[in-house]
Chain A
C-alpha cells in the first residue's frame, strides 16, 4: 500500500528526513534560577497589591434568617405571618467608601442543581413549571418560579428621622443579559401586559412578569434586572447576588458614618432546607469584591518561587560543578 514512492529515491526535504530546523530549549540553571527569582518577585509584588487592596475593601454582612444564631427578623420565621416586615439596624463609625453595593446572600441554596438552572431533557424544558392548569407559565421553569422576592429599603437615621437612601436598581445585571440575551415579546398596542396575554404568572410569584417593577416600565417583563440577576445561576451553594447599588445623590461617595435601618420585607422561605439569608454591604476595587485568597495565594507562590530559586542556586553551586566535569 504505502510503498509506491520507494522505487525512486526518497525526497531530500527537511521534513521527510526529520531534519526540520528546530529550537531545542534547555532549561538550564542560567535561565531557570533568574526566571524563578523574577517570577517570584513579580508574584510577591502582585500579591502585596492584591492583599492590600482586598484588605481595604469594606464588607458589612448581616444574617437575617431569623433562626439559630441570627437574631434579626426572628419574628418573620413563622410562614403564616405574611406579609412580614422586619428591621435591621446597624451603625457605621466611619464613612463606608462608595460606590456601595447591596447584596443579598443565600447559603445552602443549590442554584447549580441540574434540572434547576439547566434544561431537563428530553421532553419539556421547564417542567414542572411549564403549565399551570394548562396555561403556559411565563417565565417558566424552576429558576424563575423561585425568584428571590425579599425587598430591602435602606434608611439613614438622621436626628431620629428616617431618611431614605436611594437604591439604584439599574446595571446590576450583565449588560449583555439585559440588552441582547433576553428579549421581551413584542408589545401589543403599546402594552407589555397584552404581549403576555395567554400566559400566567409563575406559581410562586405574587404578581405577573409584566408588572414586576411598577416604578419603571422599562424594568418589566423578562427585562427586569432583579430577574436577570436571579437567572444567572450561582456556581456554588453559598452565593451573593447583587441587589442594588448606592450611587445617587449624597450617598454617591459612600455611606457616611451614622445609624441606619434596613427595612426588609421578609417573603422568601429558607428554613425548610436549612438555608440562610443575609444582606451585605460591600464596596469593590479593581479586583472586584473582597477576596483574601488571591493575595495570599500570590504571596505564597511568589515566596515559593524565590525560595526555590535560592535552593536551586545552592544545589547548583554545590553539586553541579563536579557534574559538569563528568
Chain B
C-alpha cells in the first residue's frame, strides 16, 4: 500500500493531456462518419539495441564515445598518419582487442535479447476477429484486437478486461514478473457489458501510454443502436498488464489498448541512472595528471630537440643525412609532427589495459558477493544479488547509512499484540505457539480489567474484519468458497487458507480479529463474509474502498450491513484519525496509543461512522463522478475521501508488534564503530521509531537526544518558524560548538568519552526547515541542520514521505565533502532513496521486489549489511585502489626510461624497448598478477575485518586514492625509472660486457632495462601481496617465467614478417653476460629497497599485529560495546527518562 503512495509522488507529474481512442474489435462506431483506424505501434517488443546491419557502426560509435577509447583511437590514428617511432600495431592491437572483446560481449548480450524478443513476439495468441477465433503471433496484435488469454498464460499486451470465465466478473492475476509481488490481485471486468463480445460496439478513450504500473484512467463508450452511448469508467483494476500472468481463472477476454513498446512493462524497461563510483573520479583525476606529464614530456623533448639541433653539426651530421622529403618539410609542421611522435612514444603511460583490468576486476569481483554463503538465507532460499558491479569499492567508502525502519530494521513480521476498545485494554494472552489457531468458539478475550460493552467490542472486531483489502488465499482449486455452507467446515477451511495483502499490518489485524472470534472469509461478488462468534456468516455489501495512501495515512471502507445500515469504517494512524473524531473519545484511547507506541508497537486507530441514506447517496455519486474523471482523478478522489471521513466515532486502537531483524543491533553497532553514521528514515511514528532505535542500540542510554519535531516546536507556544530557529541555534550550540573538536577525524574512536548526541526530526519539521520563507534562511537552516546531524551518532527522521527520504539523502550527499551515502530498504517507499544514494541496497523482504529491482545490491537480511560493508566493501576498495595506483606506477616507471633515453639519442624519438615489449608489457607481462591480486587480496583476513569494525575507518574518505598516496606511488615510479635507466647507463659506460670483448648495442640496453622493469614491478606487487593463494603464486611466477620464455622465443627465431631482426639473440646474449646478471639483480634489489623498508618499518601491520591490536581494543571498549542486551519491552522507561 505504500507503493501506491510512491506512485502518487512519481506518477503525479506525468500527466498527459492527450488521450487515445481505441475501437473495440475494430468496429466503426456509429457516431463517427468516416472510420479512420488510428495508427498505433504493433505489438513487437524490441529490447535489443542492435540489428545485424547497424551493429558495427552503432557499437563502434558507442564504444568510442568513451573518452579513454577515443583517446587511444586518436593515438592510433596519429601513428598511422604521422611517421612515428612505434608502429601503429603497438597501440592498435590492444585497442582492437579491447574493442573486439567489448563488442563480442555486447553482441552476445544483444543476441540473447533478440532471442528473448523473438520468443515473446512469436508466441501464439488467440484473437477474436469477426466472431471467429484466429491464432496470431503475438507481435501481430493490434490495438483494438480482442484477445483471449487462458489460465497461467501471460498477457501479450495491456488489455482492458471485457469478459471472464468466473461468475463474479473478476479474474486473478499475479504480477510477479513485473514487480515481484506474488500475491493474486483481483481485476474486474468493465461493469454491465453484454456477454457477447461479437456485437459489442464500443470505444475506449484512455490516456496515452505511461510507465506507472498502478495508474490508468480511461472511459468506455458503449454504443447501442439508436441509443445514447453508455459510459463506463476504467481504472487500473480493469487493466491487465503485459507480463502479468492469469491465475485461477479459466479464460478471459480483453481488448488491447497498449501494444508493443507502449505497454507499461516496456515503458518500465528504461534503465536506471548510471551511478559512478568515487574511485572512477579518482582515476580520472590521476589520468589528468598523467596526461599533463605526457604532454609536458612531449613538449620538453620537442623543445630540447630543436635547441639541440641548433648546435653545430647536430642537425644533420654527414652520417645521417635527411631524406629529400624531410628537407622540404615545413619547420612548424615538422615541430608539430615531432610533438605528436613524442606523444605516441610516451603514450603507454596511460594504458588501455587499465580500463580493461578495472572492468574485469569489477565484473569478476562482484561474483564473490553472489557466491558468498553467508548471504544465503534459508527462508527465501536466495543469496545476495548484484545488480551492478560498478560500485563494489564504494561499499568500502560508506560514511552515511540511511535505513528504512519497517522491514529493514524490523522484520515486518507483524503480530497482533493488543487492542484497546473504548478505553479498555484487551490483551491476547495465549501463548505464541497458538498464534494461528482458530479460537472461534467463545472468544479468548481475557478480561484484563473490565470489558467494554459487548456491542462496542463486536463493532470494533467487525471493523477489523471489514476495513482492509486483504484477500483470502484459496486452498486447493476453487474448493474453498463453494462448500463452506455451515460453520463446522468453515473452521477447517479457514485453517487451510492464508491471507494475502500488500501490507503485513492488515494481515496481522485480520488474524487478530480472528483470535477474538471474528473470521474474515473472503470477498465474493462485492460482499464480504464474516464468520462471527456464534459461527454465523454475516454478509456485508462492500460499497466503496477508500484506498490507503501515505499522505492521508488512513483507509476506509463503506459497507452495507445485513440489516441495511450503511457504515463507514476507517482505520489509520492516530495523527490522522484523532482530528476526525469526537474529542472526548480521543482522551480515553490516546493513553493506550502512546504507551503502545513507546513500547515499539505499531498502532492504528479504528473509527466508524453511520451514513444515512441521503448522505450515502451523495457520497456515492461524488465518488463515482470522481472515479470517472479523466483528469485530476486522484486529487478529486482524495477530496471526496477527506470529506467523507469526518465526524467519525472512535472505537478503539490496535497495537501490532514488528520484531527486530536478526542481529539488527549488532549490525548497527558494528556500522557505528566503523565510523558510519546511521540515519533511520521512516514513515512511522516518532515514539515507535525511537524505541526501535534504542533497541537497535543506535541510541544509547547515555545519548542525549535533540528533538526537532512538531511537538517541540509547539512547546513554546510561539510561531513555529521562530521556535525552529531558536531550537536549531540551541542544538547547534550544544552539538557543534561546545563539542570537543574531533581528534583527527578518522582516527576518532567510538569509545571516546565525549557526550554522544542523537537527533530526531519529523517530516513536518523537515519540510518547514527545507522550505523556509526565503532562500537565504533556508540554506542557513540547512547548513545548521547538517552540522548538527554530522556531529550526532545517529539521526532519526520519522514521519517521512518517500520523497522526503530522497531529499534527505540528496542533502547529505551534496553536503561538504560529498560523503558517500548508502540507502537500505525493502519497500517501494524506499526506492526513491535507494536510487538517490551512492549505493542502494535492497532487502529481499516482504513488501514486494521493487526495492530489490531498483537497488545496486540486494541482500536477504539486514545483518548481511555488516559483512557486505566491513568485509567485502573494505576488501574491494583496497583491491581496486591498489590496482589503480599500481597501474599508474608501473606505467610511469615503464615510460620514464624511454623518456630519459631521448636525452641520449638526440631527441630522435628512438624507442628504448622493442615494439614487441612495448605492446606486451601491459597486456601479458604485468597484467595477470595485478588482476589476481585485485581479485584475491585480503590484506586483513575477513574474520578480523568483521571482528574489528574500526578497521573500516582506515580506508575511509578514499584514503588510498588521495593525492598523498598517489604522490608516494608516483615518486616510487620516478625513483625506479631513474634507477633503471641510469643504472644501466652506467653499466654501458663500457659496452663490452662479455669476456669475449664483443660489445652490446642499443637493443641490449633496452632489453636489460626492460628485464629489470618487469621483474621489479612484479616483485613489488609480490611484496604488497599479503595473501598468497596458489593463484597468486601461479600468476606472479608464471608471468616472470612467461617473460623469460617469450624473450627467448622472440629473440630465438628469425621472424619472416619483421624487416629488422632487432632482438635476434639479444636476450640470450644478455644472459650470457655476468655483468648484465649482476646489474639486473642489483637494480631490482635497490628499486625494491624503499618498499621493503616501508613494509618493515610501518608497524604494526599484518594479521598478527592486527589481532593483537584488536584484542587490546575489545578489552578496553568492552563495557561500552557489549552493553547489556536490551529487550524492547524494557525500553519504555528509558525513552521516557530521556524525554
Please list the residues of chain A having a beta carbon within 8 angstroms of any beta carbon in chain B. 2-3, 5-12, 16-18, 20-29, 32, 39, 43, 46, 50, 99, 101, 103, 109-122, 125, 127-129, 142, 145-146, 171-174, 176-177, 180-181, 229, 232-237, 239-242, 245, 269, 272-274, 282, 284-291, 293-294, 297-298, 301, 304, 308, 312, 315, 320, 323-324, 326
What 4 A-B pairs come out closest when comparing CB atoms? A146-B319, A273-B313, A289-B992, A235-B1005
Quick one: which of B320, B375, B1028, B1086 contacts A25, CB cutoff 8 A?
B1028
> A24 and B87 in contact (CB under 8 A), knowing A173-B998, A287-B1078?
no
Find out whether the CB atom of A2 lies under 8 angstroms from the CB atom of B367. yes
Find out whether the CB atom of A17 lies under 8 angstroms from the CB atom of B372. yes
Find out whether the CB atom of B370 lies under 8 angstroms from the CB atom of A101. no
Which A residue's beta carbon lies closest to that of B385?
A: A3
Residues of B within 8 A of A297 (CB): 983, 986, 1082
- How far is B655's CA from A116's CA once the two chains are assembled, in angstroms? 91
Which A residue's beta carbon lies closest to that of B1000?
A: A235
Contact indicator per residue, chain B 1058-1102, by CB within 8 Å of chain A (1) or not (0): 011110110001000111001100100110010011011101111
- How far is B1062's CA from A125's CA once the two chains are assembled, in angstroms? 14
Residues of B within 8 A of A16 (CB): 367-368, 371-373
Q: Residue B321 at the A interface, CB < 8 A? A: yes
Contact indicator per residue, chain B 554-583, by CB within 8 Å of chain A (1) or not (0): 000000000000000000000000000000
> A294 and B908 in contact (CB under 8 A), knowing A10-B373, A171-B996, A269-B318?
no
- How far is B994's CA from A291's CA once the two chains are assembled, in angstroms? 12
- Give residues of chain B (310-325) contacting chain A, Cβ–Cβ below 8 Å: 311-314, 317-325
> A17 and B371 in contact (CB under 8 A), knowing A273-B313, A301-B1086, A326-B1112?
yes
- How far, in Å, is B944 (CB) from chain A's closest CB? 11
Find out whether the CB atom of B990 lies under 8 angstroms from the CB atom of A289. yes
Residues of A within 8 A of B995 (CB): 284-288
- How far is B1001's CA from A79's CA once the two chains are assembled, in angstroms? 30
Q: Residue B1002 at the A interface, CB < 8 A? A: yes
Quick one: which of B317, B323, B942, B993 contacts A18, CB cutoff 8 A?
B942
Residues of A within 8 A of B85 (CB): 114, 118
Residues of B within 8 A of A6 (CB): 370, 382-385
Q: Residue B15 at the A interface, CB < 8 A? A: no
Find out whether the CB atom of A26 lies under 8 angstroms from the CB atom of B1103. yes
> A7 and B382 in contact (CB under 8 A), knowing A181-B1054, A242-B998, A286-B1074?
yes
Q: Residue B997 at the A interface, CB < 8 A? A: yes
Main secondary structure, interface of A, reads loop
Range of interface residues on chain B? Answer: 35 or more
> A50 and B936 in contact (CB under 8 A), knowing A110-B908, A308-B1093?
no
Residues of A within 8 A of B1000 (CB): 232, 235
Which residue of B84, B367, B911, B1082 has the most chain A CB atoms within 10 A of its CB atom?
B1082
Which B residue's beta carbon lies closest to that of A234?
A: B1001
Find out whether the CB atom of A20 lies under 8 angstroms from the CB atom of B371. no
> A142 and B936 in contact (CB under 8 A), knowing A12-B373, A114-B910, A289-B993?
no
- How far, in Å, is B1019 (CB) from chain A's closest CB? 13
- How far, in Å, is A48 (CB) from chain B's closest CB? 13
Find out whether the CB atom of B1026 lies under 8 angstroms from the CB atom of A32. no
- How far is B321's CA from A273's CA once the two chains are assembled, in angstroms? 12
Which A residue's beta carbon lies closest to that of B313?
A: A273
Contact indicator per residue, chain B 844-878, by CB within 8 Å of chain A (1) or not (0): 00000000000000000000000000000000000
Q: Residue B284 at the A interface, CB < 8 A? A: no
Residues of A within 8 A of B998 (CB): 172-174, 242
Residues of B within 8 A of A128 (CB): 321-324
Would you give 19 A-B contacts (Cβ < 8 Å), ordered by A? A5-B371, A11-B371, A20-B1030, A21-B1030, A27-B1092, A27-B1095, A39-B1085, A109-B317, A109-B319, A113-B910, A122-B83, A235-B991, A237-B905, A242-B998, A285-B995, A291-B990, A301-B1086, A320-B1099, A326-B1109
> A287 and B318 in contact (CB under 8 A), knowing A101-B992, A326-B1112?
no
Find out whether the CB atom of A242 lies under 8 angstroms from the CB atom of B384. no
Residues of A within 8 A of B988 (CB): 235-236
Residues of B within 8 A of A289 (CB): 990-993, 997
Question: Could you list 6 further interchain pairs (A-B, Cβ under 8 angstroms) beyond the known A18-B368, A142-B321, A289-B992?
Answer: A117-B1002, A232-B1000, A235-B988, A236-B1002, A240-B992, A289-B991
Q: Residue B743 at the A interface, CB < 8 A? A: no
- How far is B995's CA from A171's CA once the two chains are assembled, in angstroms? 12
- How far, in Å, is A231 (CB) from chain B's closest CB? 9
